[in-house]
Structure 1
Amino acid sequence: MASYKAITALVFEGRSYDEITGLVGCSRREISMVKKTITAKNLTAAATAAMSDEQWAELFPDKRRSVSEAFIQPDFVGTLKSMKSNKHFTLQQGWRMYVGLDSARPGRKYGYSRYCELFTEFVNTHDVVATLHHDPGRALLVDWAGDTLPVADMVTGEIRKGYLFVAVLPFSGLIFCSAYADMKQDSWNNAHVQAFEFLGGSTQLIVPDNAATATHRTVKDDSARVVQARYQELADHYSTAVVPARVRRPRDKAAAESAVNTINKRVIGYLAEEIWTTFTELNSAIKERMVEVNEQMRRADGTTRSERFRAAEAELLQPLPAHRFDTVSWKQLKVGRNYHVTAEYQHYSVPYKLAGQMLRVRLTGSNVTIFDGDTLICEHPRKSGRKGQYSTVAEHAPERHHDLEGLWTREWFEHRAKSFGPATVTVIKMILDRSVIEAQAYLDCQNILMTLGKSNKQRLESACQQIVNQRGYPTYTTLKRIMATITGDKKQSHPLVPAATNTKSPPGPADTPSVMVRGADYYKDR
């Protein structure tokens, strides 16, 4: 509604139509109506200046109010209550209920579009909520993103899920994100450690949701929750406190929900269609995407998340402790016949002489350390992801197992062929050299060495020698056929020996070894 009081004051000042419309934003028709009213009522500038709001309303009545009074007013209070208690209740359903009111009531009813406009105005003025103000460096909100990214195992072909951990500073909006093989306690704690290291400090509070890795109920069906013991150890190490968000209070962690939404669009949306084979590769790609989110995307105030963090929040974080937090657990494990201990479905080698003994194993988030009593035996990086992986140190294996190193390579096959003989080595090299893609010859080499030569080393060497002598084309079938004709050592092929010469020996000392050939005169009289 136009401000008729302002229009009237400008009219008495002698302003033109263009000036008044520019200053007040009214229409020329409204200016014309004000001038006519001044003339009809004989109004003066002093009289209008002393008029009250009620007198102005009588002088220039709001016709829209009289029009709206002709409509039956909707029950927006009830509609809003229904939408909050029933997530499936729609605004169209509320409008249908409004239209279906007793038709005997006098008055008109709004159409659906006008009903929606009025409901929006009602919500903006009546459904007022408190705005959370976040202090810089005070809280870190954490959560798992709902969606996952696929990670393919190159050994088994199994497609595993990469779970994305999200942490956000609500004041600056700076986001940390990383992928993990599961959502268990070790991954949860390790994610927090990496988040604090990414920020360069810790906050006074950590605000998670009520995940099982964060809190639990000490008594069944009791609403009271306590922080998980290992999670509390992490909080104590970084001098912070865990304050979970209230149940069914999404506004408590609105910044985390917003960060998860950003990750879904800016990270998962970009990376979901690619094939990832390791979590290292996936996290490297996530790190590149987070550079755009934190350092390139500008918000409404023109700043980036990183700029605001460095300017107003980085210095307020608590310093990191001297040592990185690591959860420690101990196990008593027996060394298997394959000189490996098995911890959390992964296998770690020890010196083979310890096979069958009980050893003490210390498990942390990143390492597996093995002790014989108080004596340190060895340490391995901890395996994660697919079950049944091996971490083997070559020095732990006995000498007879060393030829297993580098399995399925050219050097491995040539090394195996040496135990048969030089002809077998030559044949294996011929087979490997003739393939355009060397790996395509590995199966042929495997069949020759491990099938034909499994219990017939001498016969395989003899068959290979025949192939070399004849400069043949070695294949599994050819060697098998040749070996079938060799029934014993007497029939085994031997390296080629040059034939003896049939020429007379030159004169020389009698003790010089030579070959004597009879001449033609010897046979004349016979």
Structure 2
Amino acid sequence: MSKIKEVLRLKYRNQLSNRQIQTMTGVSRNSVANYTKSYIALNAPLDEVLSLSDKELSELFVSSKPKKHPADRLETIHPDWNEVKQELSKKGMTKLLLWQEYKEKNPNLYSYSQFNRYYAKYVKKLNPSMRQIHYNGDKLFVDYSGLTIPIVNQVTGEISKAQIFVCVLGASGYTFVHATPTQSTKHFIESHVQAFHFYGGVPNILVPDNLKAAVISNKKGVVKLNESYADMARYYNVAIEPARPYKPQDKSKVELGVKAIQRWILMKLRHHTFFSVDELNQQINLLLDGYNNKIVRRLKKSRTELFALLDKPYLHPLRSNQYIFKEFERATVDVTYHVELEGSGYSVPYIHIGKKVDITYTSTSVIISLAGEIIAHHPKMSQRYHDSTILSHLPDEYQRQYEKWNPRRILNWANSIGIYTTALMESIMNKREHPAKAYRACIAILSFSKTYGNHALEGVATVALDVNNYKVAFIESMLKTKSYLLHNQSTASANNTYMNQHENIRGSAYYAQQLSKNSEVVES
């Protein structure tokens, strides 16, 4: 996805600061500010801007990047944090309302998310031992339990280990637990989707650990996300802010939740025998309700009550359709105007040969894009080593051959030359997934009979079948040098045995049997 689109989405849909956007996307804060100014100058709806192609966005935002003028720099204005603390101690007061009041007095005041961050720093200075401050509906902390649950295969008796996904909402501590067969990206995202439906909404930010299903790299404050995970986040309009490596305090909420889940749920299941992950999830759900309904002594409310009060009203609404897991690859269009994916080929218009393209695929479809524009759409092949070719992607001469020729016509021509040539044509067509390519090779080989004669082509066909080489160049070279004569003389007996056993040659026994049947019919 375009960096510009990602910046605008995080800025205006997730209300993140420029610094947070820099961490998540790798785009500098100055560039984020420039993109923001360009977007404001456009005065266009966000959805309309996000629907533009990468090229159109580049022309609007990069080519006409606004220059920063010293007069445009605004002085940072900090509120009186002592006053803020006193105001927040009043019953019913919220940070959002307080920020809005300060914003009215000082239009140059920074964003609400920055306001929250500065206040948290102030509180920590007063009392370093104070727990993290979590905002309503803001963050969902995600991790896996180190403790697993055995799953017994009823047929083989083999034992696998179910992975336990745990996520905790920051403000209320409301917890969701989900068992999956693995920690793969697909199962990791599946657990997120289940969590969103469990909560009935989506938080503003996800805070995962740095596992490979979520984060490719997290170095020097620049995060590279797993593309499938990032796509899921874009679908639900949620930001991803991974915990810093070796900084457990960034996700202390979920680490405490994991310990509690191990104690109150997983330990209670240690004597159970489970034969499927679904069966395990049913038992987890029964115990999870009890855990969330437990009264937290310090707060004198259950997590369920706190969720309804603190987090639920602030969650973003769920989309009507559930997210479909997607995977992403980057490939080069080969000389056959196809890209390879999981052992199968998918065609693109031949004019894109040699170009790098992006492949987005699900269990049912494959979409191929170039610079953000879709150039091909195929159904996903269910078997490996099969190709999907769209006729309009072929060059014009291929299309004409595809429409004009067919296997029957080629075999009729081959039969007029000889049985070995027929066998060669069938072998070529059986080995080629693209009929047009097979027709082209077959026509080229059969056309040699006009130059070199049927007898010569039949002799070369025996060699090609013997050495399993069906290339047009190889056959043409044999015809030009007549080297097939030497090969046929030295391997005559071997070739005869091979060809008599070839699946396309019926042999003398077959015709003797047919003659016998015909005689019986005449006699009767």
**Structure with max Cα Rg:** 1
Same fold? TM cut 0.5: no
TM-score (ref. length: structure 2):
0.39
Which of the two has greater helix per residue? 2
